[in-house]
Amino acid sequence: MLNNCLILGWVKFEPTVQVMKNGKEVCNLEIQCSRTYLDKDGKKIYDYISCRCFIPGLIKYISNYITKGTQVIVGGRFQTDLYVDRNGKNSKASYLLLEHLESVKIAKSTAPYPSKEQRDPLDDVDW
């Protein structure tokens, strides 16, 4: 079965790293991404995707470089865990199990649009 997801969005909250009972770390973060349509009032609608990461190198990268508001591309697979909550009820938690995360940096160019000669310098070359 194919279970692979790629999402472009913004980190909603500061990522957190916790140490589990087995001594391994887990990083939790939430990604906000907009839907392709607007609500009835013309406002954007957002989805919030919970993400978890167990890869030590990726956890270190997230801890050092990713903060609230960072635009990222995340990749991984959706997973649902079943558990018994504090009240004894069966519950489930769905999240994106991160396998990849990349920060998106959009550079604002101050340079003017290049002229035709700058774009196509080989147009005058005789082949």
Token pair, residue 47, equals: 């989805």
Res 1: pLDDT: 82
pTM: 0.75
3-state secondary structure of 86: coil
Tell me how crowded residue 11 is: count the other CB atoms within 10 A of its CB: 22
For the four alpha carbons of 108, 112, 115 and 118, in that order, the dihedral sign comes to negative
pLDDT above 60: residue 45: yes
Domain 5-103 listed as CATH 2.40.50.140? yes
Res 117: pLDDT: 58
* Domain extents in the chain: 5-103
For the four alpha carbons of 39, 42, 43 and 47, in that order, the dihedral sign comes to positive
pLDDT above 90: residue 125: no
